[in-house]
Amino acid sequence: MEIVVLTGAGISTESGLGTFRDADGLWTHYDLNDVATAEGFGRDPALVHDFYNARRANCADAAPNAAHNALANLEKSATHNLTIVTQNVDDLHERAGSRTVIHMHGTLTGALCAACQHRWRAPLVMDPTDLCPRCATPATRPDVVWFGEIPYQMDRISELVAASDIFAAIGTSAEVYPAAGLVELAGGETLELNLEPSARTNSFDRRRFGPATEIVPEWVV
Ligand code: BJW
């Protein structure tokens, strides 16, 4: 049984990490054009680093919740092959014990040189004057996927979703593409697990609504 689970910010919100588009979400406090585009980074790299430094600190203080734990346990069961495709840049799936996790929008723990594309482990606090360890250019940015950039491992993700027996989307608004369109590629049964209906809820075969810490452990049992 091949299971692919797509996760979004809603799975981590009960761990204390905010979502983007809910009331009081990150995009109600920040203009995404300023902090989640390469153009915004070019205009004001200090603002972007402040945004991600704060999120890195929040993430370090957070712990996986019952939904992350339930998915990690599902992966350990010998009868399933589970791949988690996450839009989240936090590492709560890994810290819960999940081993097969694809971060399609990058990670808070990654640093990327905008000049030479070298990647390395990000320090807790990043600064516009940080130099790339390979080319020594002060072009260090978080290794996350901003609007207008191509998400990571899309070919592998598309193949996994198409070949899946079950595709479940957890805690995502389905407002951001290409993640929102993955349900259309799914070869098997599709299920939405979310606090409320997402923008693509009608594309799923089945749906359950409620907090992830309740509905994900119930689904996994
Ligand atoms: C709970 C809960 C609880 C709350 N329990 N649930 C097609 C049509 C229109 C536009 C486009 C299109 N294709 C591409 C675009 C452009 C653009 C886009 O989608 N724009 C839209 C806004 C219209 N997409 C892109 O630019 C992407 N790149 C791209 O398309 O490249 C071209 C290409 C791709 C592939 C092949 C070929 C070419 C890149 C998108 C990058 C997104 N980056 C961000 C920020 C960086 C990472 C970071 O800083 O964290 O990623 S934006 C932000 O949104 C972040 C998230 O990963 C992403 C998704 O958000 P998510 O996770 O869904 O969170 P929310 O807040 O939206 O929703 C939370 C949900 O949880 C809600 O439903 C709640 O109800 C629920 N919830 N509490 C369960 N307790």
Tokens in use for 163?
Answer: 């070949």
Protein residue with least CA distance to atom 43, ligand 1:
146
- Shortest-distance atom of ligand 1 to CA 174: 63
Q: What is the pLDDT of residue 80?
A: 87
Q: What is the pLDDT of residue 13?
A: 98
Interstrand relation of 101-103 and 106-113 (parallel, antiparallel or unpaired): unpaired
Protein residue with least CA distance to atom 33, ligand 1:
150
Average pLDDT over residues 25-43: 95
Average pLDDT over residues 176-197: 98
196 lines ligand 1 (CB under 6 A): yes
Q: What is the pLDDT of residue 221?
A: 83
Task: Tell me which residues are annotated as active site.
Answer: 105
Contact (Cβ atoms closer than 8 angstroms) between residue 171 and residue 9: yes
Q: What is the pLDDT of residue 79?
A: 84
More confident residue, 146 or 79: 146
**Residue 137 binned pLDDT confidence (cut-offs 50, 70, 90):** very high
Q: Listing from the earlier edge strand, what are the strands of the sheet with 189-194? A: 101-103, 81-86, 2-7, 166-170, 189-194, 206-209
Classify residue 188 by its DSSP letter. Answer: S
Residue to probe by mutation, ligand 1, list 13, 19, 219, most atoms within 8 Å of CB: 19
* Average confidence score pLDDT of the chain: 97
3: pLDDT strictly greater than 80: yes
**Residue 67 binned pLDDT confidence (cut-offs 50, 70, 90):** very high
Structure confidence by residue, pLDDT tens digits, 199-209: 999 999 999 99
**Using alpha carbons only, how large is the chain's radius of gyration in Å?**
17
State in Å: Cα 198 to ligand 1 middle: 12
Structure confidence by residue, pLDDT tens digits, 69-128: 999 999 998 788 999 999 999 999 999 999 999 999 999 999 999 999 999 999 999 999
Q: What is the pLDDT of residue 78?
A: 74
21 lines ligand 1 (CB under 6 A): yes
Alpha carbon distance 219, 16 (integer Å):
22
38: pLDDT strictly greater than 90: yes
State in Å: Cα 205 to ligand 1 middle: 21
9 lines ligand 1 (CB under 6 A): yes
14 lines ligand 1 (CB under 6 A): yes
Which domains are assigned to the chain? 1-17+64-105+151-221 (3.40.50.1220), 20-61+108-144 (3.30.1600.10)
**Residue 50 binned pLDDT confidence (cut-offs 50, 70, 90):** very high
Q: What is the pLDDT of residue 88?
A: 98
- In order, the DSSP letters of 115-183 are TT--EEEPPSS--TTPPPTTT--S-EEEEE--BTSPPTTHHHHHHHHHT-SEEEEES--S-STTGGGGG
**Residue 166 binned pLDDT confidence (cut-offs 50, 70, 90):** very high
Tokens in use for 160?
Answer: 């996994």
